[in-house]
Amino acid sequence: SQQGEEDPQALSIQEGENATMNCSYKTSINNLQWYRQNSGRGLVHLILIRSNEREKHSGRLRVTLDTSKKSSSLLITASRAADTASYFCATETTSGTYKYIFGTGTRLKVLA
Amino acid sequence: DVKVTQSSRYLVKRTGEKVFLECVQDMDHENMFWYRQDPGLGLRLIYFSYDVKMKEKGDIPEGYSVSREKKERFSLILESASTNQTSMYLCASSLTYGYTFGSGTRLTVV
């Protein structure tokens, strides 16, 4: 079952610009995470935001969560070529199961 | 750093073969997961396990089974490989929230 849908599916920006990607989900969540995947590799955990949080920061990453709209956004500021990757949101729908449903991802390309 | 190691990066198998995909983690994580990743479909959960000898079906368990005889090892078994099981297989482990993924195994069934 697909829970999260990322938007846009693909994004191309210049180095130094900000990149924003969005995730919408269907059912109530306990928490939401964002992951990065470099081409052909495994995913790397970036940040977790709980359902009672509205915003969270980690370095150049800013995540927001709007549970009323069932959506989250990931902002990467001052992007670098090394940020080129696919980004996925993942939601835990049942608290404490540690079982996540992943979206289909946003492919980000940062041009040098 | 937690490491999740998947035994093969690339694998080519024939239709009907029994295929074993191995996953080992080195940080004493209770939870382990197998996903497959296909273009346009994202990651889909096949099986997961919260403890040794324990397994639970995910969203797409048909055609797969798993084995967890030791805490650190979680194996995915394709009982009789079919071409529609050609995919990228990703193993992950976690203590609570936040998965650590392996590098993935790209399986092609011919």
Residue A37 structure tokens:
């995947």
Segment B20-59, tens digit of pLDDT: 999 999 989 999 999 999 988 889 999 999 999 899 999 9
| Residue B13 CB partners (closer than 8 Å, separation 6+) | B19, B78, B81, B107, B108, B109, B110
CB B36 within 8 A of CB B86: no
Residue B55 structure tokens:
């397994």
Dihedral class, residue B101 (left if φ above 0, else alpha if ψ from -120 to 50, else beta): beta
Cβ-Cβ contacts under 8 Å, B107 against chain A: none
Report the C-alpha gap between B68 and A25 in whole angstroms: 32
Pairing between β-strand A106-111 and β-strand B87-94 as defined by DSSP bridges: unpaired
Task: State yes or no: pLDDT of A2 exceeds 60.
Answer: no
Tell me phi and psi for residue A34, to 5 degrees: -120, 140
Task: State yes or no: pLDDT of A1 exceeds 70.
Answer: no
CB contact under 8 A, B90 and A104: no
CB contact under 8 A, B97 and A48: yes
Segment B76-94, tens digit of pLDDT: 999 999 999 999 999 999 9
Segment A45-68, tens digit of pLDDT: 999 999 999 999 999 999 999 999
Q: Is A59's Cβ below 8 Å from some Cβ in B?
A: no
Work out the minimum CA distance from B18 to partner chain A, whole angstroms: 24
Q: Is B31's Cβ below 8 Å from some Cβ in A?
A: yes
